């Protein structure tokens, strides 16, 4: 079981679901359906078996789970995403946590799809960022990928991204690049904030540049100067309303933290009926 799922269930259930245990007979069987209540892109379906089967409480029959969609599928209002048959107590006790994950992750996937659609027809890819909910990064990045954007680095360990504070701490662009190359064979990306830093980075042979907080017009001007000598990522307050303009500057990538930090939970319901 995913550790974050286990912790979420423990947080919600605690010493027991006093409402369900007090009014629902232990031998009662039911079917629960997860229903889309608006148009959305679904994600997090891989977690459904973890909500039920590993925690089956030994009732007359183990839960049966049928998943009718795949991560990344578009759903319309009223679509049945999945259903689970089993002890009514089990279904009720785990309803809220299951919905919390599906709603949150489907929100990320839905917003990611909107970003990906917004840049369709350009040569620019949309990247997610590390601006994720603590403890949920793997799940949220999987949801972003299901929505059609490209995962950026997962953490501080799998790629070198030299940002403005690193440059300040290292003592300059040239020093930062040189020390990073000497210390690691990982890919290096460096943020440049001025034209002087841009030229210094290119003189050092930088092959991946991050341009932050530029207007689309300024970004296009900088990219013309770069002239294909390095890959370019644009970042800094890029929203669904502006991402197309940034993608049309000639950038290779645009990144947006909004995909994970500002995605709203989608409307998914759980409807239970007795068997």
Domains and CATH numbers, the chain: 3-115+263-274 (3.90.1170.20), 119-261 (3.20.20.70)
Question: For the chain, what is the mean pLDDT?
Answer: 95
Share of the chain above pLDDT 70, in %: 96
Q: Considering the entire predicted model, what is its pTM?
A: 0.94
Tens-place pLDDT, residues 162-194: 999 999 999 999 999 999 999 999 999 999 999
Q: Is 20 exposed, middle or buried (0-12, 13-18, 19+ CB in 10 A)?
A: middle
- For residue 102, which of 134, 62, 64, 69 has the smallest C-alpha distance? 69
With a cut of 60, say whether residue 54 has pLDDT above it.
no
H or E stretch at 211: strand 208-212
Give burial (CB, 10 Å; 0-12/13-18/19+) of 27.
exposed
pLDDT of residue 57: 58
- 8-state DSSP, 122: S
Look-up of token digits 């840049």: 119
- Give the catalytic positions in this structure: 96, 131, 163, 191, 212
Residue 28 pLDDT: 94
């Amino acid at each position: 079981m995913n550790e974050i799922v286990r912790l979420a269930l423990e947080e919600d259930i605690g010493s027991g679901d006093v409402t369900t245990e007090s009014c629902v007979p232990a031998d009662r069987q039911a079917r629960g359906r997860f229903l889309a209540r608006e148009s959305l892109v679904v994600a997090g379906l891989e977690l459904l078996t973890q909500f039920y089967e590993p925690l089956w409480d030994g009732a007359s029959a183990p839960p049966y789970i049928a998943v009718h969609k795949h991560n990344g599928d578009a759903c319309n209002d009223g679509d049945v995403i999945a259903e689970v048959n089993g002890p009514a107590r089990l279904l009720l006790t785990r309803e809220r946590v299951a919905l919390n994950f599906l709603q949150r992750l489907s929100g990320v996937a839905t917003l990611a799809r909107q970003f990906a659609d917004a840049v369709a027809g350009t040569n620019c890819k949309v990247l997610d960022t590390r601006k994720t909910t603590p403890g949920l990064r793997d799940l949220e990045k999987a949801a972003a990928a299901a929505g059609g954007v490209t995962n950026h680095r997962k953490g501080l360990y799998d790629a070198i991204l030299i940002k403005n504070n690193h440059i300040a701490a290292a003592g300059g662009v040239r020093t930062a690049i040189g020390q990073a190359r000497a210390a690691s064979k990982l890919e290096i990306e460096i943020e440049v904030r001025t034209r002087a830093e841009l030229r210094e980075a290119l003189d050092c042979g930088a092959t991946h540049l991050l341009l932050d907080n530029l207007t689309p017009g300024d970004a296009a001007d900088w990219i013309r100067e770069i002239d294909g000598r390095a890959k370019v990522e644009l970042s800094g307050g890029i929203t669904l309303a502006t991402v197309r303009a940034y993608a049309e500057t000639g950038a290779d990538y645009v990144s947006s933290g909004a995909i994970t930090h500002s995605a709203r939970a989608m409307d998914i319901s759980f409807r239970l009926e007795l068997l």
